[in-house]
Amino acid sequence: MKTLPKNTQSKESILQMMDDARHQDAKWKDGRTFSLVYYAGEEISNLVKEAYMKFFHENGLNPMAFPSLQKFETEVLSMTANLFHGDKNTVGSLTSGGTESILMAVKTYRDYARKVRPEVTEPEIILPISVHAAFEKAAHYFNVKPIHIPLTDEYRVDTNAVRQAINENTILIIGSAPAYPQGIMDPIQELSNIALEHNLPLHVDACLGGFILPFLKELGYPIPPFDFELPGVTSISADIHKYGYAAKGVSTILYRTDELRKHQYFAYADWPGGIFVSPTATGTRPGGAIAAAWAVMNYLGLEGYVKLAKKSISTTHKIIEGIRAIPELYILGNPEATVFSVGSDEVNVFSVADEMEQLGWHMDRQQNPTCLHFMITPAHEAVTDQFIKDLETSVRDVKENPEKYQSGSAAMYGMMGEIPDRSEVDQYLIHMLNDLMRLK
Ligand SMILES: Cc1ncc(COP(=O)(O)O)c(C=O)c1O
């Protein structure tokens, strides 16, 4: 096993080892990745880094110790609520990311239902199959039953199926704006109507779209309503560390009223360590992430975000146009924003992805249906032509040499897809992760 070095080492050698370690990392700065990193150029990155470093040591756990962080957090939440047609009753919290915001939403509604509907002993949540896996995790953590709802041919949740799934145990409806897999928005307006008819809360997951949809709307794109403007929407999650371009580790969860949020909070008055109250799942909260979110939102302002959204959407349209010109490929549905997926009836797109990876692109594979996932940012503007050229070459190669692609990710997904007991596949994945994270 690796041990703690016996002696202090020089700063230079440490930094050199770190640079060496990242040699094989995905090349996000060159626009070679389509997930994980949202990059809008050095100017913004440098501002975010500087702001983060200013509050590098501070801890958002205790807002009374750091009024600065309290100011940043409440102002960030206020600016976000304002983007989503919130009002003076809107409240929220900053969390460490989309997953924590989603975990908090599900826990909040579970505890709210316990209070207002104590007769519900086996709570259920209505989950379109396209929602982020974090909802599945939340259902697992908080012991609520996920009721999976299929999508229409347009990859939006089937609202008739939502209506049919509602019963006396339902405590929450969820919709995405947009959903991760195809980048397509659920019909939130209709979900809002259903929620009101049944007197149920509706959470909108705008983790991905929250910091781009309002700006696309500003640019005149036809973005359907998805936020507090719809009376049935009771909460929204939106990640500043995605299209908000903040440092990693910051998302928002907003509620229409404090009556809901108070079920998110946790207090313990008898702790020997002092009276304890905490807003979210974590204890210590990195001051740097909170400060950097405040800094980037104030730095960019509406003008900056609209400019970036324009760059991302025009790059998206250019890439989609290039993909549509490749006869073997198609885009799934009609995505509204800057996230989309690509499928084919003629070539195995996983083999295409394998080939693209040989050419230096980091590709994201999806299943049910088989497709590739793309999230476009300003970083992709400069590589659009190269990407399309490489994609054409890869499709041609896979088509002309199918025998070359008998193994690889197509074979692996194919094999996993054929195992009827999905819990067996889950166990296999856990085993794989165990293996990957063995101590070195
Ligand atoms: C729609 C949606 N919700 C939630 C999440 C989870 O966010 P995080 O990875 O920050 O936990 C993502 C991540 O891509 C997402 O796209």
Domain boundaries, the chain: 50-297, 302-426
Atom of ligand 1 nearest to the CA of 242: 10
User: Does residue 406 surpass a pLDDT of 80?
Assistant: no
Q: Which of 50, 130, 92 is nearest to 296 (CA)?
A: 50
Identify which of 37, 131, 237, 239 to mutate to test ligand 1's pocket (most ligand atoms within 8 A of the CB).
239
Q: Which of 163, 170, 106 is nearest to 136 (CA)?
A: 106
Predicted local confidence at residue 418, as pLDDT: 84
Q: Are 125 and 107 in contact (CB under 8 A)?
A: no
Domain 50-297 shares a fold with domain 302-426 = no
Identify which of 207, 240, 245, 280 to mutate to test ligand 1's pocket (most ligand atoms within 8 A of the CB).
207
Q: Are 296 and 44 in contact (CB under 8 A)?
A: yes
Predicted local confidence at residue 352, as pLDDT: 97
Predicted local confidence at residue 420, as pLDDT: 87
C-alpha of residue 124 to centroid of ligand 1, in Å: 22
User: Does residue 178 surpass a pLDDT of 90?
Assistant: yes
C-alpha of residue 128 to centroid of ligand 1, in Å: 15
Identify which of 34, 106, 127, 208 to mutate to test ligand 1's pocket (most ligand atoms within 8 A of the CB).
208
Sequence-separated (6 or more) residues with CB below 8 Å from residue 320: 331, 340
- Determine the Cα–Cα distance for residues 373 and 380; give it in Å rounded to an integer: 14
CB within 6 Å of ligand 1 — which residues? 97-99, 102, 132, 134, 176, 180, 205, 207-208, 239, 251
C-alpha of residue 208 to centroid of ligand 1, in Å: 6
Question: Mean pLDDT for the chain?
Answer: 96
C-alpha of residue 179 to centroid of ligand 1, in Å: 9
C-alpha of residue 24 to centroid of ligand 1, in Å: 24
Sequence-separated (6 or more) residues with CB below 8 Å from residue 232: 191, 192, 193, 194, 195, 196, 202
- β-strands 251-255, 233-239 pairing: antiparallel
Q: Which of 318, 339, 311, 340 is nearest to 215 (CA)?
A: 311
Mean pLDDT, residues 316-345 taken together: 98
C-alpha of residue 243 to centroid of ligand 1, in Å: 11
Q: Which of 251, 255, 233 is nearest to 241 (CA)?
A: 251
C-alpha of residue 398 to centroid of ligand 1, in Å: 32
User: Does residue 270 surpass a pLDDT of 90?
Assistant: yes
Mean pLDDT, residues 340-357 taken together: 96
| Tens digit of each residue's pLDDT (9 = 90 or more) over 278-300 | 999 999 999 999 999 999 999 99
Q: Are 107 and 260 in contact (CB under 8 A)?
A: no
Q: Are 172 and 111 in contact (CB under 8 A)?
A: no
Torsion (CA) 425, 427, 433, 437 in degrees, nearest 10: -160
Sequence-separated (6 or more) residues with CB below 8 Å from residue 139: 106, 125, 127, 145, 146
Predicted local confidence at residue 291, as pLDDT: 98
C-alpha of residue 225 to centroid of ligand 1, in Å: 20
Predicted local confidence at residue 440, as pLDDT: 85
Query: Which residue has its alpha carbon closest to ligand 1 atom 6?
Result: 98
Q: Are 355 and 402 in contact (CB under 8 A)?
A: no
Q: Across-strand partners of 372?
A: 342, 365
Supply the Cα-derived Rg of the chain in whole angstroms. 23
User: Does residue 203 surpass a pLDDT of 80?
Assistant: yes
Mean pLDDT, residues 372-385 taken together: 97
Alpha helices by DSSP H, 37-174: 42-54, 67-83, 98-116, 133-142, 159-165
Atom of ligand 1 nearest to the CA of 339: 16
Q: Which of 36, 49, 42, 30 is nearest to 379 (CA)?
A: 30
Mean pLDDT, residues 96-102 taken together: 98
Q: Are 355 and 344 in contact (CB under 8 A)?
A: no
C-alpha of residue 407 to centroid of ligand 1, in Å: 30
Tokens of residue 248, six digits: 């990693």
Atom of ligand 1 nearest to the CA of 102: 4
- Determine the Cα–Cα distance for residues 242 and 248; give it in Å rounded to an integer: 8
CA angle, residues 365, 368, 373, in degrees to nearest 5: 30
- Determine the Cα–Cα distance for residues 303 and 396; give it in Å rounded to an integer: 42
| Tens digit of each residue's pLDDT (9 = 90 or more) over 32-65 | 999 999 999 999 999 999 999 999 999 999 989 9
User: Does residue 407 surpass a pLDDT of 80?
Assistant: no
| Tens digit of each residue's pLDDT (9 = 90 or more) over 301-316 | 999 999 999 999 999 9
Q: Are 162 and 175 in contact (CB under 8 A)?
A: no
Q: 302-426, what's its fold?
A: Aspartate Aminotransferase, domain 1 (3.90.1150)
Identify which of 103, 104, 136, 180 to mutate to test ligand 1's pocket (most ligand atoms within 8 A of the CB).
180
Q: Tell whether the torsion through CA atoms of 333, 337, 341 and 344 is positive or negative.
A: positive
User: Does residue 94 surpass a pLDDT of 90?
Assistant: yes
Predicted local confidence at residue 413, as pLDDT: 82
Q: 50-297, what's its fold?
A: Aspartate Aminotransferase; domain 2 (3.40.640)
Amino acid present at 303: E
